[in-house]
Amino acid sequence: MSLDLNPVSVSDYREVARKRLPTQLFDYLDGGSYAERTLHDNVEAFSRLKLRQRVLRDVSNIDTSAEVFGEKWTIPAGLAPVGFAGMYAKRGEVQAARAAEKFGVPYTLSTVGICSIEEIAKATKKPFWFQLYVIKDRGYAAELMKRAHEAGCSALVFTVDLAVLGARYRDIRNGMNTQMTLGKRLKVAADFARRVHWIRDVALGGRPLDFGNLREAVPNARGFGEFGAWVAQNLDPSMTWDDLEWVRKNWPGRIIIKGVMDAEDARLAMKTIAPDGIVVSNHGGRQLDSTPATIEALPAVREEVGDATTVLLDGGIRSGLDIVKALAMGADACLMGRPWVYALAARGEAGVTAMLGTMRQEMHVAMALTGCTSRKEIDRSAIA
Note whether 26 and 18 are within 8 A (CB).
yes
Dist. CA 264–CA 241, nearest whole Å: 12
- Ordered DSSP codes for 88-154: TSTTHHHHHHHHHHHHT--BEE-TT-SS-HHHHHHH-SS--EEEE--BS-HHHHHHHHHHHHHTT--
CA distances from 72 to 64, 188, 189, 208, 215 (A): 11, 45, 45, 33, 34
Dist. CA 230–CA 217, nearest whole Å: 9
Instruction: Tell me which residue of 334, 355, 370 sits closest to 256, measured CA to CA.
Output: 334
Largest CA-CA distance found in the chain, in angstroms, rounded:
66
CA distances from 52 to 31, 70, 200, 368, 384 (A): 32, 30, 47, 11, 4
Beta bridge partners of 280: 260, 313
User: Known catalytic residues?
Assistant: 283
